[in-house]
Amino acid sequence: MASDTAPASMVSFEVPTPRGSRGASVAYARVGAGEPLLLLHGIGHHRQAWDPVVHILATERDVIAVDLPGFGASPSLPEGLPHDLPTTGAVLGALCEALGLDRPHVAGNSLGGLLALELAREKLVRSATVISPAGFWTQAERRYAFTVLRTMRHTARRLPEPMVRRMARTAAGRTALTSTIYARPARRSPDAVVAETLALAHATGFTETLRAGTAVRFTDDVTGVPVTVAWGTRDRLLPRRQGVRAKRTIPHARLIRLPGCGHVPMNDDPALVARVILDTSR
């Protein structure tokens, strides 16, 4: 969601835990009208990953793009709240309650896709569109993905900001910075590439979130909620064969190929991604 058209807001709320409620805060941006649609990004990214599709979605939906805890403008969870799947799911449930969202539709990419499936499994959403969701990997595939993510994080933290800005001015530089997640990295705007590289470098929740994902596999069916699983044919981080596993796990889900798209396809083919999300939410 472009910062010049949808400035971020911050909401604070209580998260129920086995030892009582704890306070948390989450940044989000909201635009459009219609049934609510929650957008969840992947690890190391921020809500602006959805920028290319938000204006399309907002013609039919009340769109709420979220910075997950410890990413983007959202602070990390307070001490004692781990950045694991159950806790982050509880945070998102509390966020929906704080914003008055009664079972919104949800779309998530990568980590956000895994979280969207958790919300759907708990019947907290009306529909779920999951794009290259985490959790359907083999151990070898997970190790590969986590190694790539750590390398991206290490590179982002080592590059001085002036160098990132210089690289982002050229198509070759944008490719060097983002070709792991985009199939068409040259299409990403220089400002967007700078912002997401800095978001990765400064993500306070990155290490703990990645550590918590070591043992994660999604093995439960999701019933009673429409689910679409979409996978880019040029996903270099989570190979598209994982989509077949997702379909076996969730038999009633639609499995859709996103031709020519990478791991974060909202930038590669905005019209196609928006159509898939709206079709599912209808």
pLDDT digits (tens, 9 = 90+) for 101-148: 999 999 999 999 999 999 999 999 999 999 999 999 999 999 999 999
- pLDDT above 70 covers what percent of the chain? 97
Tokens at residue 144, please?
A: 């590969």
Tokens 């993510």 -> residue: 149
Does the pLDDT at position 4 exceed 60?
A: no
Give how far Cα 65 sits from Cα of 105, 140, 230, 256, Å: 12, 32, 19, 23
Task: For the domain covering 9-281, report its CATH number.
Answer: 3.40.50.1820
Nearest one of 280, 244, 251 to 127, comparing CA atoms = 280
pTM: 0.94
Widest distance between CA atoms in the chain: 51
Yes or no: say if 258 and 103 are a contact pair by the CB < 8 Å rule. no
pLDDT tens-digit map of 224-271: 999 999 999 999 999 999 999 999 999 999 999 999 999 999 999 999
Note the pLDDT of residue 16: 81
> 231: alpha, beta or left, given left = phi > 0 and alpha = psi -120 to 50?
beta
Find tokens 């998260």 and name the residue.
15
